[in-house]
């Protein structure tokens, strides 16, 4: 078993062709170790979204390799890649992406039902307790606050016991107090459950919840910061040309 839950090896991504071609990622090589919380930051247009799309298998690199554990995503056909994303990667989005007609319980277990599997009751209870939704399982999303909806999304990401959770601006739609609660939850599932989390964010405060921050600039890795604080992250972003 690899020490890295996820790794990108010399990943290059080019959109378009000829004179209009745009290189979004330039030979990016990085490993995300198991049981860590890593944030990805960079100025607008730095390649953060492309990085996440390639890391998740939603976009294929022009060259280079993306490995989930020992599995080379580039070697998989589309149907197998879809299965892998459902079974081995958890996703958390800024917009929650919950189905309004389903209850909290049904939203959380949806990935399993799509895979034709039933939920492990003990694990489901553990996840629900971890995210603090034990008394909300029969509610629908419209009956929940934004923070509670994001907790549902985090539980949904965890229910299949994924190897890595990918979070795209998970606190972007939340007020600062609720955002801190969600970030504390993400940190706790890493520190106490051994989960691996990779989070893209533009917010230095959000990034400071992680163990380390990777910085992108113009599609290239521009350094890493361990033990981040909001002040250190903001200072590094200013050096990359992004006002904070």
Q: What is the pTM of this model?
A: 0.92
What residue ranges do the domains of the chain occupy?
35-49+77-239
127-141 mean pLDDT: 93
143-151 mean pLDDT: 95
| Residues in contact with 141: Cβ distance below 8 Å, sequence separation at least 6, in sequence order | 96, 98, 99, 100, 102, 104, 107, 149, 152
Q: Is 31 exposed, middle or buried (0-12, 13-18, 19+ CB in 10 A)?
A: middle
- Alpha carbon distance 161, 243 (integer Å): 38
Closest residue by Cα to residue 111 from 240, 120, 214: 120
SS3 196: coil
- Alpha carbon distance 33, 235 (integer Å): 25
Do 127 and 108 form a contact (C-beta atoms < 8 A)? yes
162-179 mean pLDDT: 93
**pLDDT value of residue 243:** 59
Residue 165 has pLDDT above 90, yes or no: yes
Q: What is the tens place of the pLDDT at every residue in 176-210?
A: 999 999 999 999 999 999 999 999 999 999 999 99
Write down how long the chain is. 244
Q: Is 131 exposed, middle or buried (0-12, 13-18, 19+ CB in 10 A)?
A: buried
- Alpha carbon distance 157, 109 (integer Å): 9
Residue 34 has pLDDT above 60, yes or no: yes
Distances (CA, A) of 181 to 56, 94, 97: 25, 15, 19
Distance between first and last Cα of the chain: 39
- Alpha carbon distance 52, 58 (integer Å): 8
- Alpha carbon distance 56, 218 (integer Å): 20
The architecture that CATH gives domain 35-49+77-239 is 3-Layer(aba) Sandwich (3.40)
| Residues in contact with 48: Cβ distance below 8 Å, sequence separation at least 6, in sequence order | 40, 41, 42, 200, 216
Residue 169 has pLDDT above 80, yes or no: yes
In this prediction, residue 2 has a pLDDT band, given cuts at 50, 70 and 90, of low
**pLDDT value of residue 3:** 86
**pLDDT value of residue 19:** 86
**pLDDT value of residue 244:** 53
Six-digit token string for 183: 């970030």
């Amino acid at each position: 078993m690899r020490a890295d839950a996820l790794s990108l090896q010399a990943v290059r991504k080019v959109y378009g062709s000829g004179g209009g071609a745009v290189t979004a990622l330039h030979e990016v090589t990085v490993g995300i170790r198991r049981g860590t919380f890593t944030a990805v930051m960079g100025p607008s247009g730095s390649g953060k979204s492309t990085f996440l799309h390639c890391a998740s298998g939603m976009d294929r690199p022009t060259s280079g390799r993306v490995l989930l554990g020992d599995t080379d995503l580039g070697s998989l056909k589309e149907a197998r890649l879809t299965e892998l994303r459902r079974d081995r990667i958890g996703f958390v989005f800024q917009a929650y992406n919950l189905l309004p007609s389903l209850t909290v319980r049904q939203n959380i277990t949806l990935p399993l039902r799509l895979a034709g599997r039933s939920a492990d009751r003990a694990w489901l209870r553990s996840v629900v307790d971890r995210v603090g939704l034990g008394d909300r399982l029969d509610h629908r999303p419209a009956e929940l606050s934004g923070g509670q909806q994001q907790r549902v999304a985090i539980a949904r990401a965890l229910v299949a016991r994924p190897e890595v959770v990918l979070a795209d601006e998970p606190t972007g739609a939340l007020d600062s107090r609720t955002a801190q609660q969600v970030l504390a939850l993400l940190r706790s599932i890493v520190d106490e459950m051994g989960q691996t989390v990779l989070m893209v964010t533009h917010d230095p405060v959000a990034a400071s919840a992680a163990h380390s921050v990777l910085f992108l600039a113009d599609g290239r890795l521009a350094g890493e910061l361990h033990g981040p604080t909001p002040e250190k992250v903001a200072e590094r972003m200013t050096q990359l040309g992004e006002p904070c």
